[in-house]
């Protein structure tokens, strides 16, 4: 518990599953990662530090908007959160597929336009000229 310890720093201080990173605590196990200080803390200190109104306000103003999760997380919580990440890959894949469909559709439109021009025997690419009457087909004389 914080305040109980007054010895030298333990070798595993601030390490995962080791001793709490708080110098006056250094309780085991340190299972809570602090995304602000990049160290592991015991459950009691994670609550103490995480719920401290100044820290909490700071995290909610600066940390949370950037990362979208709590200041302290267990490894399991981080894994659970990261397990949801493949959705981003899925979204990227959907975007990729959408782009492929759009390009295929554009190609299809281009090809069908070419076919229309072939049918109409128009050699120049069609332009947007709404006021001109449609070009008359040449009559072949015999």
Binding-site ranges for Zn ion (CB under 5 A): 20, 22, 25, 27, 42, 45
Sheet bearing 72-73, strands edge to edge: 39-41, 32-34, 72-73
The nearer residue to Zn ion, 27 or 59, going by C-beta atoms, is: 27
The nearer residue to Zn ion, 25 or 71, going by C-beta atoms, is: 25
Task: Give the Cα separation of 115 and 112 in Å (integer).
Answer: 5
| Shortest distance in whole angstroms from residue 40 CB to Zn ion | 10
| Shortest distance in whole angstroms from residue 2 CB to Zn ion | 5
DSSP 8-state secondary structure symbol assigned to residue 124:
S
| Shortest distance in whole angstroms from residue 27 CB to Zn ion | 5
The nearer residue to Zn ion, 51 or 90, going by C-beta atoms, is: 51
| Shortest distance in whole angstroms from residue 22 CB to Zn ion | 5
Q: How far is CA 30 from CA 14, 73, 87, in A?
A: 7, 11, 30
The nearer residue to Zn ion, 11 or 139, going by C-beta atoms, is: 11
Task: Give the Cα separation of 46 and 1 in Å (integer).
Answer: 11
Q: Cα 9 to the chain's mean position, in Å? A: 38
């Amino acid at each position: 518990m914080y305040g109980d310890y007054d010895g030298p720093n333990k070798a595993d201080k601030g390490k995962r599953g080791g001793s709490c990173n708080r110098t006056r605590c250094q309780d085991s196990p340190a299972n809570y990662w602090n995304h602000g200080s990049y160290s592991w803390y015991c459950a009691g200190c994670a609550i103490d530090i995480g719920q401290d109104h100044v820290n909490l306000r700071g995290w909610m103003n600066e940390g949370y908007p950037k990362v979208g999760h709590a200041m302290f997380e267990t490894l399991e919580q981080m894994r659970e959160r990261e397990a949801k990440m493949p959705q981003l890959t899925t979204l990227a894949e959907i975007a990729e597929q959408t782009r492929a469909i759009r390009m295929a559709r554009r190609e299809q439109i281009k090809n069908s336009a070419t076919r229309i021009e072939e049918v109409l025997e128009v050699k120049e690419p069609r332009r947007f000229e709404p006021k001109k009457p449609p070009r008359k087909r040449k009559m072949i004389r015999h």
